[in-house]
Amino acid sequence: MAADILDSKFQKLFSFVDANGNGVIGRGDFLELAGRLNERFGASPGSARANSVTASFERCWEGIEAAVGAGDASKVTAKQYSDGLRQVFAGGDDGAFDRLMAPMSDAVFDLCDTNGDGVISFSEFHAVQSAVGNISEAECAEVFRALDLDQSNGISRDEARAGVRDYFTNEDPASPGNRYFGSLLG
Ligand SMILES: [Ca+2]
Ligand SMILES: [Ca+2]
């Protein structure tokens, strides 16, 4: 059977969320990721920026948890996670992306847009990519160009959403959003 691109993208995300590598993830691992992002961007716990990121991650996790339907939702395996994401985001329910993923994309966007001009510059993009994974500056620049659909040398809120949507729903191996998480897919 040919490798399924959605599966391989979801598995990459899983190994990333499963920071301690014990093969299962739970709400705590997911929220830890939000915490790491907040910390990296100096959003102090309890601040509006941090709360918005945490709340969007919480809602997204609840959506995944509901789809996984595991007896013990604190022990979601890679297969359950991958199947759950597929069911939620690639199952033809367009509303799921808007409900669960768009708010997360927007919250992270606001976190990354440290100068608040409504656009993610390359340096802002590089900062977030370095915070969530290991990516070289050259590779980061390539991903940035792929996501900057109108070649304005900046990533707009819509371009960020489009990248995330691609990542979670697009089975085309060449879609720009596949590179959204950079070296996570390496
Ligand atoms: Ca900016
Ligand atoms: Ca742009």
Cα 78 to Cα 179: distance, rounded to the nearest angstrom: 20
Residue range 133-150: mean pLDDT, rounded: 87
Nearest to 56 by CA among 43, 75, 74, 71: 43
Residues with CB under 5 A from ligand 1 (ion): 113, 115, 117, 121
Ligand nearest to the CA of 121: 1
Confidence of residue 20 (pLDDT cuts 50, 70, 90): confident
Q: What is the pTM of this model?
A: 0.85
Measured in angstroms, how far is the CA atom of residue 180 from the centroid of ligand 2? Answer: 14
Residue 77, beta-bridge partner list: 24
Measured in angstroms, how far is the CA atom of residue 123 from the centroid of ligand 1? Answer: 9
- 127-137 pLDDT, tens digit each: 877 776 667 88
| DSSP code at position 178 | G
Ligand nearest to the CA of 41: 1
Asked whether 138 and 182 are in contact (CB, 8 A), the reply is: no
Report the run of H or E that residue 25 belongs to, with start and end: strand 24-25
Measured in angstroms, how far is the CA atom of residue 114 from the centroid of ligand 1? Answer: 6
CATH number of 5-171: 1.10.238.10
